[in-house]
Amino acid sequence: MTLVRESSAAAPARPAVRPRRRRGRADRRPRVLVAVTALFFALLYLPIGVVALFSFNSEKSLTVFGGFSLRWYRAFAHDDVLISSLGTSLRISLVAMAGSVVLGVALALGLVRCRTRLGSLAGLVMLVPLITPEIVTGVASMLLFKGLGVALSTGTVMLSEITFSISYVTVILRSRVAALNPEVEEAAMDLGATRWQAVRLVTLPALLPAVLASAVLIFALVFDDFVLAYFTTGVDPQPLSVRIYSAIRFGVQPTINAVGTLMLAGSVCLIALALFIPRLFGRRGGLDILSGE
C-alpha cells in the first residue's frame, strides 16, 4: 500500500525536482532486507514443515524419511487415550468459547457505553490477564481451586479458560463497539424499542461478524492452550495439549507428529477463518482482529 501510494499518487503531484537516478535507487528493494526476510520465513516454517513431513514417515526416525505412510495417523486413531483427550479438549474449548463470548461481549458493551467509575475499574480488571504471564495465572487458578477444596478436573480447566479468554473477547469487541454510532440505538428507542430491544435488534447484529470471529479465535486459542490446562487439569481425562506435553518430555513418539500436524492444520484453518469472517459480511477484515485495534 505504502509503496503504491508513494509511486502512483504522490509522484505525479510532485514536480520533477529530484534527480531521477536517486529516486530509482531509493525505491529498489534492498536485497539484504529481502534476504533476511526470506531467511526468517524459511526458519519460521521449517519446524512446522518437519513435523508435518515426518508425520507421514514410514519409519520411526525423525531425521531419515523412509517413505510415505499413514502409519502414525492410524496409530493415533487407535489410541484410546489420545482420542478421549481430543474429546475432552473439544468440550473444554466449546464451553470456554460460549462462556467467554457471552461474558466478554457484555463486558465490552458495558465498558464502552458506561461512563462511571465502576467502568474504569472494570477496564483495569480486564487488563490483568493480558499482562500476567500464563504460568502465574496457572499457579493462581490451581491454588484457588485447592484452597476452595475443589478437586481439579475438566470443569476446573473450563472455568480457568473462561477467565483467561474474557479479556481477549473484550479487547477484540471493544474497538468495534466504540466504532458503532450510539445514535442508531437511540433512533431505535425513539421508534419505540426498549433499551434491551435496541441492543438485541440493532447493536448485536451489527457486532455479529466480530463476535463470530472472536468466538472462533477463542476456540482455537483454548484448544491449543497448554500452560493453564496443565496447571488446572485433573489426572484422568486430560486435554490433548497436556498429553502432548507429557509425550514430548519423554522422548520422541512419531504419533505426536501426526497429532501435532492435525492440530496445526486445525488451528491454522480456524485462525484464518477468524480473520476472514468479517470479509464474509462485507467489512474490512484482517489482522485488526488479532490486535484489537
Partner 1 sequence: MALLRPSSRSRRRKADSGGNRMWIWFMLPGTLWMTGFLIASLILVAVLAVGTTDELGNPRFGFDLTGVRALADPAYTEVLVRSLGYALLTCLICLLIAYPVAYTIALHGGRYKNALIAAIVVPFFANYLVRMYGWSVVLSDDGPVLRALRAIGLADGDTKILNTGVGVIAGLVYGFVVFMIIPLYAALERLDVSLIEAGRDLYGGPVRTFLFVTLPATRQGAAAGLVLVFLPAMGDFVSAQLMGGPDQIMIGNLIQDKFFQGQNWPLGSALTMLLMLVLLVGMFGYLRRTRKDEAEARR
**Interface of this chain with partner 1, residues 63 to 122, rule: CB under 8 A:** 63, 103-104, 106-107, 109-111, 113-116, 118-119, 121-122
Q: Does 60 bind partner 1 (CB under 8 A)?
A: no
Q: Is 126 in the site for partner 1 (CB under 8 A)?
A: yes
Q: Give me the 179-198 binding string for partner 1, x by CB under 8 A, dash otherwise.
A: -------x--xx----xx--
Complex with partner 1: residue 97 or 275, whichever CB lies closer: 275
249 binds partner 1 (CB under 8 A): yes
Q: Is residue 220 close enough to count as binding partner 1 by CB under 8 A? A: yes
Q: Which three cell numbers stand for residue 123?
A: 477496564
Among 88, 241, 255, 278, binds partner 1 (CB under 8 A): 241
Q: What is the phi/psi pair of residue 31, to 5°?
A: -65, -35
Using CB under 8 A as the binding rule, whether residue 50 contacts partner 1 is answered as: yes
**Residue 281 touching partner 1 (CB under 8 A):** no
CB of 287 to partner 1, least distance (A): 6
Q: Which is nearer to partner 1, 143 or 208 (CB)?
A: 143
Q: Is residue 256 a contact residue for partner 1 (CB under 8 A)?
A: yes
The answer to whether residue 57 forms part of the interface with partner 1 (CB under 8 A) is no
Smallest gap from Cβ 261 to partner 1, in A, equals 8
d(CA 273, CA 253): 31
Among 224, 239, 255, 277, binds partner 1 (CB under 8 A): 224
- Contact residue for partner 1 among 143, 184, 187, 208 (CB under 8 A): 143
Residue 68 phi, psi (nearest 5): -80, 135
Return the exposure string of 231-265: e unless at least 16 CB atoms fall within 10 Å of the residue's CB, then b. Answer: bbbeeebbbbbbbbbebeeeeeebbbbbbbbbbee
Binding residue (CB under 8 A) for partner 1 from 131, 191, 192, 250:
131
CB of 139 to partner 1, least distance (A): 5
Q: Interface residues for partner 1 in 15-44 (CB under 8 A)?
A: 18, 22, 26, 29-30, 32-34, 36-37, 40-41, 43-44
Q: Is the dihedral of CA 270, 276, 278, 280 positive or negative?
A: negative
**Residue 57's beta-bridge partner residues?**
68
Closer Cβ to partner 1, 154 or 163, answer by number: 163
Taking the C-alpha atoms of residue 22 and residue 148, their distance in angstroms, rounded to an integer, is 71
How many amino acids of this chain bind partner 1 (CB under 8 A)?
A: 103
Q: Which amino acid is at 45?
A: Y
Buried residues in 148-160 as b, exposed as e (16+ CB within 10 A): eeeebbbebbbbb
Is residue 8 part of the contact set for partner 1 (CB under 8 A)? no
Q: What are residue 93's phi and psi, to 5 degrees?
A: -65, -40
Q: Which of 96, 157, 158, 166 is close enough to bind partner 1 by CB under 8 A?
A: 166
| Binds partner 1 by CB under 8 A, chosen from 90, 98, 152, 264 | 264
Contact indicator for 175, 225 with CB cutoff of 8 Å: no
- d(Cα 141, Cα 122) in Å, to the nearest integer? 20
Task: State yes or no: residue 170 binds partner 1 (CB under 8 A).
Answer: yes
Amino acid present at 136: V
Q: By C-alpha distance, which of 227, 258, 241 is closest to 56?
A: 258
**Measured CA distances, 183 to 108, 109, 154, 189 (Å):** 18, 15, 44, 10
